[in-house]
Structures are given as C-alpha cells and as structure tokens.
Chains A and B, each alone.
Chain A
Amino acid sequence: MTNWSLLAPILLYLIATLGLSRYAASRGASESSFERRYFLGGQFMSGPLLAFALVTTYTSASSFIGGPGAAYNFGLGWVLLAMIQVPVAILTLGVIGPKIWRLAKQHQAVTILDILEQRYHSKTLLVIAGISLVGAFMGMVVVQFTGGARMLSVMTGVEYHWALALFVGTVLIYTLWGGFRAVSYTDALQGLVMVFGTVALFIAVLNYGGGMSAITAKLHEIDPALLSHRGPNDFLSWPFLLSFWVLVGFGTLGLPHTALRAMAVKDGRALKQAMVLGSMVSVVVILLPHLSGVLARAILPEIDSPDNVLPKLMITVFPPLLGGLLLAAPLAAIMSSVDSMLLQTGSTLVSDLAGRFAELNESQQRRLSHLTMLLLVAGSGLMALNPPQMIVWLNLGAFGVLQAVFLWPIILGLFWPKANASGAISAMLVGAGGFLWMLNSGFKPFGIHPIVPALAASGAAFVLFNRLGKACDA
C-alpha cells in the first residue's frame, strides 16, 4: 500500500527539481549554437556550482545505496575504502582541468570526444571512444535507474514499475528541457540536499542508537571484524584495498562525465574554489552515508537487501514526513549522476558520431538530440525493469571500462606532446579488452582488481604502439 506521508515530500522535491531546471534553461545563453548551448552551456560555472555539480555527478547510487549497503556487510573497512574517493575534485580539476578548459575554449569543444579529436585527429579513435562511452554509460544509467526506482518502491510502497516511471520521467523532462545548464543547476541543488540529508541522518542515527560508543559496542558483539579494516573473513585484503586507489582514486582522471565539468568552468579562480569546496563536499557525502551504513547494522540487524539500508534507516530514525523529505538525498545523488550520463551519451551519439558523418542544421540537431535522449531513457528504463541485486558491482564494472578506455588517451594526450592516435587506439583496445576479459574470467593476479593490470597493459600498449604512429599536433 502506498505510504503517502513518505511519497508526498518526494513528489514535492521532484517538482522543485523540475521548476529549477526550467528556470536555469530560461537563463541559458542564446548566442551560441544549439549543440554548444545544450551539451555544454558555455564556460559559465562558478566555483561553488562546479564543486557541487562535479561531486554530485561523481557520487551516485553506488555511494548512497550500494556503498552503504556494502558498509553494512563489511563494516568500517568499507568506509576506509570509500574514503579513497575524497581527492576526486582535486585530481580531476587540478591535473586535467586547466588543459582541458584551454582546449575547449580554443576549439569550441563540447564533449570529451571533441577534445580527443582535436588532439589525435582520428575517426577510428572517435568511433571506439564513442561506442565505449555509450555502452558503459547505458550500463551505469540502468544501474542508477534500478537503484532509484527500487528505493522509491521499497520505501513508499509504490509498485516498482510505477516508481521507475516516476523517476525516469522526472530525469527525462529536466534533461530535455534545459540540457547541460539545467543539469548543472539541478546538480547543485541536489548537492545541497545530499549534504543536508547525510548530516541530519548521521546525527539522528547517533541519537537513536544511544551514541557512538553504545552503537560500536553492539557492532563488536555482532562481529568484532566489523570494526577492523580487514572486514569479516579478511574480505578487504591489502591488494583489494590498494586496487581501489586505482579504480576510484587516480583512475577517476579518466572518467569523461567528470572531466567534462572542467570544460565549463568560468575561470581560474572558480577552478581553485571548486577544488577546495569539492573536496569538502566529498568528505561529507562519502564519509557520513558509509559510516551510517555501518552503524545501521546495530540498529537494523535484520535487513532483506543491504542496498536498502540507508532509506530504511531514514524512515526508522525520523518521523514519516521528515523521513520522506530526507529520502530526497539519495534520490538526488542518483538523478545528478544519471542526468550527466544521459546528456553525455546523447552528445556522443549526436555531436561526435552522427555529426561527423552527416551535416546537420540546428533544427535537425535539436530534434535528433531529443529523439536520442528519449530512446536512451526508454531503452535504459526497459532494461531496469529486470533489476540486478548488488548494484555496487555492476556500477564498478562500467566504471572500469570507462577508465580503461579513456585514462591514458586523456592524460598522455594532454601532457605528452609526442602522443599519437596509434598509441591512444592501442591503449583503448588493450585496456577495455583486458579489463572485460579479466572481469568475466575472474582472473585476479595476487588478489588485485582487474582494473590495475588492465590500466598497466593499456599504458604499456600506448607507449609501445606510439612509436609506430605519426606525431599529432599537441
């Protein structure tokens, strides 16, 4: 049965998101082309806006649903692992930000693929990058839709397919309405909701459980390993933990949807502000949900699906209306990732692939963009009708493919003047192929995550095959 005291505040939040996106879209610059206006929005982002948009795009269903679920199972060791993600803003904006920004300004680039094309001048590279990006983002979008709809359904009693339709419909409408600019403003709102929601939840959990010492004493009774960095059954081994420094630490430099944010920053001052503020926001939205997930084991010791731990906690420790309002925080985390992925998938298909092989006028671009977005959302929504159980693993798989394809071509393309298309294409093929093979076969040398050997092989292939190719203009 539908629980309206929980559903009503969520519906209000979704309506507020639509209202903000409409306002942001109406403020959009009209002098630039549709493609630049819709997919990038110009170089308009202030420091705080960029900080929130970057962090909310990066943190997703995995950070608010899958991550706390894993923390519930594996204890404080999983929080240690999650904290690897704190430097994402410093790394993304500090290492590649200024160079990507300059290239975007010089060449009127709209997407990461535009940047790669300007750097490598290769259609083959563009097609490989485009297919990988669309495939990985489709997988990640399905995971996000599943997480959002499952949470809405379990918490409010709405049937799963209706929850999916509500969630998917909202994201589709505001992404279609306003493009990148609307998505950036709604991401900032969602970032504020996430910060407020996670702080409030953490305080309420401590209060409900009788304080940190009382809660961790209960955890010690359940299993002392929950308070160890190794987790139950020594699951979190050192090779596993250190692999994550590649997967969700340094490897995030190769994520196109976060790198894209650096292209839209207003100036150097805003970039520096975003590096600092983004790191602070990351600490809050990574530490508190994961730690709350661990503490929940003492408050809700029996739970059907660990992925639902945070929403269940919200309606346990808060009265229904407030619990419903705070459920907006994980929903915000999901929506803010999915909108950016959809937009970038759309821009890849329309601007990078279709636009390279056929001349499109502004009206055709607009219609094709909207149609593509509609088909992407419909396709992902249909796939989400049959949802997977532990979404954190699926998300990490798609995440790995993106890094394996994009990390070295982006980094070496920006910092190595001799980098050329032969090297970049080889790195993409070896990285993605190796990662998928290791993931499917379960091959884990010395217990490390497949992303580590995949990126090592990808980097080696880049350097090796670079010798065979011609130098490109830097």
Chain B
Amino acid sequence: MHGINPTKLALGAIALTLGYVVVWLAGPLLLADAPMWLGLPLWFWLSCIVAPIAFCLIAAYWLRERGND
C-alpha cells in the first residue's frame, strides 16, 4: 500500500480515538448539571454532537490527500 506507514497509521488512529474518548467523557463529567440549550442538555451537545463532528473533521484533515506520513 503506497503512501501508508502501517505503524504510524495505527498509532494515529488510536490517538484520535483516545482524543474522542476524552471529549466524550467531558460532557457528563463536566456538564452534567449545566442547563439545556436548544432543547438538549449541554453534556449531550458536547459528547454526542461536538465530539463526533470534531472527530470526523480532524480525521479528514489528518488523512487528506497529501498523505499522513
């Protein structure tokens, strides 16, 4: 597979996922008692909407065409 360093790609995928875990955890840990916003609790916005969107955007930037390694 040209342009791919398997070890670097694996480490990057794990690091990105761990980053997602941290933001996912931050919602209920830090915002459990925060008020609602646009009909949903703030913890939900952070963990279930911001975290996955940020995860996809960072993945798209990291894996953009000019390569990751």
Contacts and interface: CB of A to CB of B under 8 A. Distances in A.
Contacts of A275: 13, 59, 63
Contacts of A283: 52-53, 56
A297 to B, nearest CB: 14
B42 to A, nearest CB: 11
Contacts of B41: 76, 227-228
Interface residues of B, number: 38
A271 B4 CA distance: 10
A268 B52 contact: no
Contact of A279 (B6, B32, B40, B59): B59
A44 interface: no
Given A98-B4, A98-B9, A229-B27, A80 B17 contact: no
Contacts, number: 116
Contact of B28 (A80, A101, A287): A80
Given A87-B20, A91-B17, A213 B38 contact: yes
Contacts of A272: 4, 63, 68
Interface residues of A, number: 45
A94 B32 contact: no
Contact of A86 (B28, B36, B52, B60): B52
Nearest to B43: A229
Interface in B44-69: 44, 47-49, 51-53, 55-56, 59-60, 63, 65, 68
Interface string A246-275: 000110000000000000000111011101
Nearest to B14: A95
A291 B24 CA distance: 16
B1 A212 contact: no
A101 B1 contact: yes
Contacts of A91: 13-14, 17
A45 B48 CA distance: 30
A215 interface: yes
Nearest to B21: A245
Contacts of B3: 268-269
B21 A94 contact: no
Most buried by B among A99, A249, A275: A275
Contacts of B6: 98-99, 102
A276 B20 contact: no
A80 B2 CA distance: 37
B2 A94 contact: no
A122 interface: no
Interface string B18-36: 0011001001100010001
A102 B55 contact: no
Given A83-B47, A215-B39, A279-B56, A90 B17 contact: yes
Nearest to A211: B39
A280 interface: yes
Contacts of B55: 86-87, 90, 279
A439 to B, nearest CB: 25
B37 to A, nearest CB: 10
Interface of A: 76, 79-80, 83-84, 86-87, 90-91, 93-99, 101-102, 211-217, 227-229, 245, 249-250, 267-269, 271-273, 275-276, 279-280, 283, 287, 291, 415
29 contacts: A76-B40, A83-B47, A83-B48, A83-B51, A86-B52, A87-B13, A90-B13, A90-B16, A98-B4, A98-B9, A212-B39, A212-B40, A213-B39, A216-B36, A216-B39, A216-B40, A228-B41, A229-B28, A249-B17, A249-B21, A267-B2, A268-B3, A268-B4, A272-B68, A276-B59, A279-B52, A279-B56, A279-B59, A287-B48
